[in-house]
Structure 1
Amino acid sequence: MFTTILKEVGGFFDRRALTTVFFPSLVFWTGAALTVGLVEHKVDRAVRSWSHQPGLVQVGIVVGWTAFVVFWSLLWQAAGDAQDRFFQGYWPQDGPLSFLTRRGSRRHSRVRQRLIERDRELERKEIAAAAERAAFPDPQALSAPTVVRPPEDIDNELDALEACLGSRTSPDPLPGWGTRCRDLAEQLAPYSGSTQDPSWKSRLSRFAAAADQLGHALDEAELALREKRSTLHQQLFLSYPQPPVQPLPTRLGNVIRAAEQHPRIRYGLDPVVIWSRLQPVLPADYTDGVRRAKAGLDLLCTLAAYITLFGVPLAAWAAVRVDDPDRPALLWVALVSASLCAVGVSVTAHRTKLWLLALALLGVSSVPLVVTLVNPSTHLLDIPTVGLRLGLAALFCTEILTLSLIAYRGAVQAGIAFAEKVRTAFDLHRSRVLDQMRLRIPDDLAQERRTWTALCAFLYRGAPPDAGTLTYADPLPATATFTANIQVPADQPSQAG
Structure 2
Amino acid sequence: MLGTVVKEAGGLLDRRFFLNGLLPVLAFLGCCLLTVAAARGGVAGAVNAWQRQDVTIKIIHMLAFLVVALLAAAWLASAATTLVRLYEGYWPGLIGRPLRALGLRWHRNRLAALDPVDDRDYARLHTSYPSDPSEVMPTRLGNILKNAELHPEDRYGLDAVVVWPRLYPLLPEEQRTALIAARTELEFFLTVSALAAAYSATSGIFLILAGADPGLFLLCHATGGVVALLAYRAALPSARLYGQQVKVTFDVHRALLLTAIGQQDTAGIDEHLLWQALARHWYRGIPLAATYRAAAASPSPDDLLLDDQSMPSRRSLPPTAVLLAAILITSALGAVLLQ
TM-score interval, normalised by the smaller of the two chains: 0.7 to 0.9
Matching of residue 423 in structure 1 with residue 312 in structure 2: no
Matching of residue 465 in structure 1 with residue 288 in structure 2: yes
Question: Would the aligned equivalents of 1:263 and 1:271 in 2 still touch at CA under 8 Å?
Answer: yes
Alignment partner of 1:113: what SS? helix
Change (3 A) 1:428 1:45: same
Question: Would the aligned equivalents of 1:89 and 1:101 in 2 still touch at CA under 8 Å?
Answer: yes
Partner of 1:433: 257
What amino acid sits opposite 1:102 in the alignment?
A
Matching of residue 404 in structure 1 with residue 228 in structure 2: yes
* Bigger RCO of structures 1 and 2 (CA < 8 A, at least 6 apart): 2
Partner of 2:104: 105
Question: Would the aligned equivalents of 1:316 and 1:396 in 2 still touch at CA under 8 Å?
Answer: no
* Farther off after superposition, 263-272 or 40-49: 40-49
Change (3 A) 1:242 1:286: same
Matching of residue 309 in structure 1 with residue 198 in structure 2: yes
Partner of 1:443: 267
TM-score if structure 2 supplies the norm length?
0.75
Matching of residue 72 in structure 1 with residue 72 in structure 2: yes
Change (3 A) 1:54 1:244: closer
What amino acid sits opposite 2:286 in the alignment?
A
Question: Would the aligned equivalents of 1:105 and 1:246 in 2 still touch at CA under 8 Å?
Answer: no
Question: Would the aligned equivalents of 1:319 and 1:392 in 2 still touch at CA under 8 Å?
Answer: no
Q: CA deviation at 1:312?
A: 3.4
What amino acid sits opposite 1:442 in the alignment?
T
Work out the percentage of aligned pairs sharing the same amino acid. 29
What amino acid sits opposite 1:253 in the alignment?
G
Alignment partner of 1:27: what SS? helix
Question: Would the aligned equivalents of 2:255 and 2:264 in 1 still touch at CA under 8 Å?
Answer: no
Q: Distance in 2 between matches of 1:79 and 1:467?
A: 39
Q: Distance in 1 between matches of 2:274 and 2:137?
A: 30
Normalized per residue, which structure has more helix?
2
Q: Distance in 2 between matches of 1:58 and 1:392?
A: 28
Q: CA deviation at 1:409?
A: 1.0
TM-score if structure 1 supplies the norm length?
0.52
Alignment partner of 1:312: what SS? helix
Q: For 1:364-406, what per-residue CA distance to the aligned partner results, in whole angstroms no more than 9, with x for missing partners? A: xxxxxxxxxxxxxxxxxxxxxxxxx3x8745753443232112
Change (3 A) 1:430 1:63: same
Q: CA deviation at 1:410?
A: 1.0
Q: Distance in 2 between matches of 1:422 and 1:234?
A: 17
Q: For 1:37-57, what per-residue CA distance to the aligned partner results, in whole angstroms no more than 9, with x for missing partners? A: 133226445434544555554
Change (3 A) 1:63 1:400: closer
Matching of residue 263 in structure 1 with residue 87 in structure 2: no
Question: Would the aligned equivalents of 2:128 and 2:147 in 1 still touch at CA under 8 Å?
Answer: yes
Alignment partner of 2:138: what SS? coil
Question: Would the aligned equivalents of 2:199 and 2:221 in 1 still touch at CA under 8 Å?
Answer: no
Q: CA deviation at 1:309?
A: 0.4
Q: CA deviation at 1:447?
A: 2.1
Change (3 A) 1:464 1:417: same
Q: Distance in 1 between matches of 2:258 and 2:291?
A: 15
Question: Would the aligned equivalents of 1:434 and 1:440 in 2 still touch at CA under 8 Å?
Answer: yes
Alignment partner of 1:269: what SS? coil
Q: Distance in 1 between matches of 2:180 and 2:217?
A: 39
Q: CA deviation at 1:79?
A: 2.7
Alignment partner of 2:289: what SS? coil
Alignment partner of 1:275: what SS? helix
Partner of 1:453: 276
Change (3 A) 1:285 1:59: farther
Partner of 2:113: 114
Partner of 2:323: none
Unaligned stretches of 5+ in structure 1? 1-9, 124-228, 326-388, 471-497
Q: CA deviation at 1:304?
A: 0.8
Alignment partner of 2:263: what SS? coil
Partner of 2:135: 246
Change (3 A) 1:294 1:96: closer
Matching of residue 231 in structure 1 with residue 120 in structure 2: yes
Change (3 A) 1:395 1:18: closer
Partner of 1:161: none
Alignment partner of 1:14: what SS? helix
Q: Distance in 2 between matches of 1:404 and 1:432?
A: 40
Q: For 1:84-123, what per-residue CA distance to the aligned partner results, in whole angstroms no more than 9, with x for missing partners? A: 111000112x6454122122112111110010xx33xxx4
Partner of 1:298: 187
Corresponding pairs, count: 283
Partner of 1:33: 33
What amino acid sits opposite 2:106 in the alignment?
R
Question: Would the aligned equivalents of 1:431 and 1:441 in 2 still touch at CA under 8 Å?
Answer: no
Matching of residue 19 in structure 1 with residue 11 in structure 2: no
What amino acid sits opposite 2:36 in the alignment?
V
Q: CA deviation at 1:462?
A: 1.3
Change (3 A) 1:248 1:72: same
Partner of 1:280: 169
Q: Distance in 2 between matches of 1:56 and 1:317?
A: 29
Change (3 A) 1:45 1:96: closer
Q: Distance in 2 between matches of 1:96 and 1:16?
A: 32
Alignment partner of 1:439: what SS? coil
Q: Distance in 2 between matches of 1:427 and 1:51?
A: 60
What amino acid sits opposite 2:167 in the alignment?
L
Unaligned stretches of 5+ in structure 2? 1-9, 294-339
Alignment of 1:37-186 (within 5 A): 37-41=37-41, 43-53=43-53, 55-92=55-92, 95=94, 97-115=96-114, 118-119=115-116, 123=117
Question: Would the aligned equivalents of 1:22 and 1:70 in 2 still touch at CA under 8 Å?
Answer: yes
